[in-house]
Amino acid sequence: MFAINHAATALVLKRRYPTVRMAFILLAVQAVELLWVALNLIGVETTTTDATVRSVQNIHLVHMPWSHSIATTLAFAVVAWTLIRFALGKPKTAIAVALGIASHLLLDLVTHSPDIAIAPGLGVQKLGTGFYSSVPFLAFLLELGFGIVCWRIYRGSRWLLFAIIGFNVANLSMFLPQLVGIEAALAGQPTTLTLIILVQIVVTLAMVGWLSRRRDLRCAPKPLFKESQHAVERLLGRMPVVVDELLGENTVGHSLDSRRIFGPGVDLDSLEPVAKLSTQCLETRAGADGVGRKPEAEHLHTFFAHPSLDD
């Protein structure tokens, strides 16, 4: 599977583990490929091409038992999980990174020619569906569809969707021999091919990481809308109490207490937009009444804010 769709896998993992840093997940989903690049550049693993390269059918990953074998990838994932879980004390990050590492080989099995070994030195039939060598355009459609599904699960912005589609389309000549692209210059140039793939990895990881920071609220899942709606309704029902607290009409010497005002089970993150609206209302009222209410307004906004936790 090409670099952009491995990078898109990180979106699914980030959706599942939102407190894990995106950078860790992005590096995990391409850790296997980065190892492949390094081993090819130093001559431990081997990639060859035909005399003429017109598509991915003419590129052969003839020897990559260390970076792309089932045994080494699983071992890599287990080691990463162990170190992050016990040395760093981050259980969720450990799971996300381990899944990211394992996902790379799983996706390659879906599209690659039979070039993935079970274990180094094991002389048995290698694995792979053979789509790259037999029906490359079907592999292209699978990869494009997979990238779009990852974006949909993540509920990313339109720019992120355009990037995923755009990078896939940019690789179209690798799947259609009738189209002439950069691959025509790669015949007999395995090192150049490896470096181009490295550039693709870096660019797609950076692009997905940057564009994933923006979310399209119109694509947000319906359950989140319902949860926010219920939270707002509960807030509005208790707004008089909040106003009394701010104006000091019903309390003497008592600070705002989120448990007393809102009760248990309210997600304060979902109330922050309402807090901002309330802040604006109080500031407007202060200007109309000639009374300085800005400190109380700032206090209301601070009351809703609380730090998010990593792991």
pLDDT in tens, 1-35: 999 999 999 999 999 999 999 999 999 999 999 99
pTM over 0.85: no
The helix/strand/coil state of 269 is helix
- pLDDT of amino acid 286: 53
Report the alpha-carbon distance of residue 163 to residue 279 in Å, rounded. Answer: 37
Q: If we measure between CA atoms, which residue out of 109, 21, 24 comes closest to residue 73?
A: 109
Q: What is the largest CA-CA distance in the chain?
A: 86
pLDDT digits (tens, 9 = 90+) for 252-297: 444 444 444 444 554 555 556 555 665 565 555 555 444 444 444 4
**Residue written as token pair 């950076």:** 206
Q: What percent of the chain has pLDDT over 70?
A: 69
Report the alpha-carbon distance of residue 89 to residue 12 in Å, rounded. Answer: 23
Tokens found for residue 100: 């990211």
Report the alpha-carbon distance of residue 274 to residue 301 in Å, rounded. Answer: 9
Q: How confident is the model at residue 180 (pLDDT cuts 50, 70, 90)?
A: confident
- pLDDT of amino acid 260: 45
Q: If we measure between CA atoms, which residue out of 77, 66, 72 comes closest to residue 102?
A: 77
Instruction: Say if residue 93's pLDDT is above 90.
Output: yes
Report the alpha-carbon distance of residue 7 to residue 306 in Å, rounded. Answer: 31
